Amino acid sequence: MEILLKKGKEKKIKNFYLWVFKDEIENLEQLKNKPAQIVDVKSSSGEFLGRAFLNPKSHIVARMLTLEDEKINSDFFKRRIKDAIERRKKLKIKSNAVRLIHAEADFLPGLIVDKFGGYLVLQTRIAGIENFKHEIVSILTDIVKTSGIYERSDMESRKEEGLEITSGELYGHVPRYVEIEENGLKFLVDLHYGQKTGFYLDQRDNRKKVQGLINKGDKVLDLFCYSGAFSIYCASAGAMVIGIDSDRSATDLARENAKLNNVSNRVKFLTADAFETIEEMANSGEKFDLVIIDPPAMTKTKKGAESVKWAFYKLALNALKMLDPGAKLVISSCAYHISLDLLQEAIRFSANDLGKRLRVIDITFQPEDHPWILQMPETLYLKTIYLEVLK
């Protein structure tokens, strides 16, 4: 089985882009109703371009695995997995929780593996990688010293791939809660039911950076606080913090994490809608020295980007009402379709409407254990803007 690309569509594959879409395929009709499998990808003239996972059910019909004429088997995945893990060993991450495999950015499309202490959490997001799941688990247990592997393939996007949503133990026994360490702080992580794979590992560097902004006695508002990591970093630096999240299980866990770090007296967690609560606070005249806005990905599609821009506008508008000159605002977006320009535009509109001048202190992206590929823009998703109110 092979994919024939339309004329001119081979250029992006040669330039290391990894996805092939339906409208780029010449022989699409012949591929319809075929099961997920590995196929050769060729140009319109028949030139071999590489091998890919094929899934005609997905809007991304093919995901490149290699540009070489090599077998895609257990040995192939062992090499790729070993390379990804070896790269992480060279990183100077002050935590025993790290992302070991980051899908396309590690040339393993659809595969996510996170390490939390002695346990691994695995996600298979596409049908192609699902077909190799048992081999991958065997490879991981051979390469990584682990007491257990838990699957969190419970994302809605699997349905488009023709896959069921699933979770559970794949190897050993994995407790629901695991304690990790990060930059001298401790956190309980819910591996079974927590958001993402249990913890937002991609915000590790930003948490440390935000902690460095704190002066003792500062008042901090942490919106979409989840299990309290940003809040606890700030409280540990001497701030008084209010953390807000609509997920009761998350705020319950946040309180446990506050106890674990002996900061319960400096942080209060509220189970509430962040949009409604920040508006109520702003209208009541509350003031803060720092507001952190880190919502989940509010859109998975380009179509939803414009409405999400106005959601960020509203959040920033209410935050800025509570920030006097010298105060700071930190806003993150983990949605690929919310570009840095779009996020900045939303904040700029809110500042202009209030007559506030903002200085950009810094702009950061995802940490080095969540790498991205320059020729694959979709692998860059996390953007964070640090701002100071001047007027």
List the binding residues for S-adenosyl-L-methionine: 224, 245, 294
Question: Alpha-carbon distance 365 to 264, whole Å?
Answer: 30
* Residue 79, token pair as written in the block: 């090499």
Write out the binding residues: 224, 245, 294
Question: Alpha-carbon distance 21 to 221, whole Å?
Answer: 42
The strand ranges marked E within 82-197 are 97-102, 111-116, 119-124, 148-153, 166-172, 177-182, 185-190
Q: Please check whether residue 227 is in contact with residue 257, taking contact to mean a CB–CB distance below 8 angstroms.
A: yes
* Residue 213, token pair as written in the block: 């902004």
Phi and psi at residue 316, to the nearest 5°: -65, -40
Task: Tell me how far the alpha carbon of residue 278 is from its chain's centroid.
Answer: 24
Annotation marks residue 334 as catalytic: yes
Question: Alpha-carbon distance 261 to 250, whole Å?
Answer: 17
Edge-to-edge strands, sheet with 2-4: 2-4, 37-42, 48-54, 60-66, 19-21
Q: Catalytic residue among 188, 214, 221, 334, which?
A: 334
Question: SS3 breakdown of the chain: % helix, strand, coil, rounded to 5?
Answer: 35, 30, 35
**Sequence-ordered list of residues with C-beta below 8 angstroms from that of 304, at least 6 positions apart, any chain:** 298, 337
User: Catalytic residue positions?
Assistant: 334
